[in-house]
Every structure is written in structure tokens, then in C-alpha cells.
Chains A and B, each alone.
Chain A
Amino acid sequence: MSNGNAYITASCVIRDQQVFSNGSLLWQDAPGAELTDFLRKGYDRFSGQYPKFHKMDALSKLGWLAAEILLRTAPVEDHLPEQVAIVLSNRSASLDTDLRYYNTVKDIPSPALFVYTLANIVIGEICIRHGFKGEHIFFTTGGFDAQQVKAYTQILLDTGVATACLCGWVEVMEQQYEAVLYLVERQQREGGKPFAAEEMRNIYDLRF
């Protein structure tokens, strides 16, 4: 595979009631905080002013919040909206919401829940928020496959389809959740790391 230069210029990791930005702990909620409450507090702290957030399912809220934090200081506006791509993956697709929706079917099925019974809606929410119009794709795999996400993102950059890409892993199943997002760009920026599967693993494991 061709291997043009690219850099991880920002990252965000959310798990265990903790939020890490570029490797540093940015904020943490009380251990054991319930996911919905944790996400709401995260929204109040890092965003606000986006009432549509409250309508989202947990997967979209988590991915949306991670993107919000990832892009807080990242100069993503340097890129054309058509050239910002998103490559996400997870294990459970939208199963968490599928089951919630399924529980409403015996009463009155909820249209607002059904809308979120697709894994890639989280990408749609991020695109709506930031106006990104580039390519996007969602893989389902047994666990975080840094190599696969890296390979696909690299192709998008190498073929000129995108000049920047948000990529990573966003998983929710009941109270188990995890989001790891990377901003990958062609140009190096201060603190950026080479875009390699090994570096992605390091960030995932919070080894900085």
C-alpha cells in the first residue's frame, strides 16, 4: 500500500467516565456514573447550544461528543467540507438502540428511536453538526482494528478523496461504551504523531 505522509493531529478517548484529549485527562465524572447522565454532563461542559443532542441515541451522543472535543482546538476549517471524511467502526453496530426500539414495538413504536437503529447515523449527526460533506463509512468488526481503519483512511488521503479524516471506534452496548477518535491530516502540526496503526494503538491504550 502506498504510504504518503499523514499525521494524527488530534485525538479524543472517552471511556470509564473519563475524557482524554490528546493524551491528557480533560475531565472525569464520578466512577460508576450512568452513561446518559455522563453524556449530558459532557455536553453541558464541552458544548451546549445544540438541543438536537438530547434527541440522539447513546451511540450518536457519544460519537458526537467525542467529535466535539476532538475538534475543539483542531483547525478543521482549513479543509473544504467536501474533503473531510469520516471512517468509524464498532462491534455492536446499533444493537443497543435496536433493543430499546424493539421494546417500544409492543406498545407504540417510537419513530425517533427507529431513526437511530443504524450504526452510521452517528456519522450523519457529526456531518450535520460540522457541515462535512466528504466520504464516510462505517465498519463493524469484533474489536478495534487499527490496521483496517488506518488502511481505509490512508487510501482516502492518498487518492485525494479527502484532505482530513475523523476516524476511529465508537461503541455502545448498555453501560459498556468507548469512543476513540483521531483527526488525521496531511500536514504535520505541533504535537502531531505519524499516522500509523501502532500510534493509533498507543493512543487507544493511552500510552503517550
Chain B
Amino acid sequence: MADLKAQIIEQLNLQEVKPEDIGNDQPLFKEGLGLDSIDALELIVLLQQHYGIRIANPEQGPEIFQSVRTMATYITAQQKQPG
């Protein structure tokens, strides 16, 4: 999850945030890390760029991007799927 945090920081230009500042279960949006709708789209790009995962429906975003842990779980699940 440390790698994922670093990737999030880079993708979203969170220049004043360090990986250790982000809790595994901290909400990424609103009161948590304060991300917005454009950040959500950038996280979709991140998944495609680093993990080859495509999300066509942005409605899935809120569920996947709740926290670093939910993102990591989603990535692992996708990577286990054959093909």
C-alpha cells in the first residue's frame, strides 16, 4: 500500500502530502484527503497506467476509491482475474 500511496501523491500532485500522512483507512474524498471529482478521474487514469485496469463507468468510483485499502483490495481482485 506504500507504493500505491506514492503513486496517488504523484498522480494527484499532492506536493505537501507524504505517503505516511495518508492512513490506510482514511477517507480519500471530502473530509478525509479532500479530493474532488477531477481527482477521481485521475485515480481512474492511475489504475489504467500502473495496473492496466480500465474503469468505464465513473459510478464505480466512490466505492473503489473510499480509501487506500479499498483501492488496494480492488486492484488485487482485478489482478487475480484471468485475462
Contacts and interface: CB of A to CB of B under 8 A. Distances in A.
Interface of A: 51, 54-55, 108, 110-112, 115
Contact of A111 (B16, B17, B42): B42
Interface stretch (B7-15, B23-31, B67-75): B7-15
A51 B17 CA distance: 9
B10 to A, nearest CB: 11
Contact of B13 (A55, A111, A115): A55
Contacts, number: 28
- Grouping DSSP codes into helix (H, G, I), strand (E, B) and loop, the A interface class, with mixed when no group exceeds half, is helix
B42 A112 contact: yes
A111 B38 contact: yes
Interface residues of B, number: 14
19 contacts: A51-B14, A51-B16, A51-B17, A51-B34, A54-B15, A54-B16, A55-B12, A55-B13, A55-B38, A108-B45, A108-B49, A110-B42, A111-B41, A111-B45, A112-B13, A112-B39, A112-B41, A112-B42, A115-B38
Contacts of A51: 14-17, 34
Contacts of A110: 42, 45
Interface in B5-63: 12-17, 34, 38-39, 41-42, 45, 48-49
Nearest to B46: A108
B42 A108 contact: no
A100 B27 CA distance: 31
A108 B13 CA distance: 17
Nearest to B11: A112
- 3 smallest beta-carbon distances between A and B, as pairs: A111-B41, A54-B15, A54-B13
A18 B39 CA distance: 32
Contacts of B49: 108
Contacts of A54: 13-16
Contacts of B34: 51
Nearest to B49: A108
A51 B35 CA distance: 11
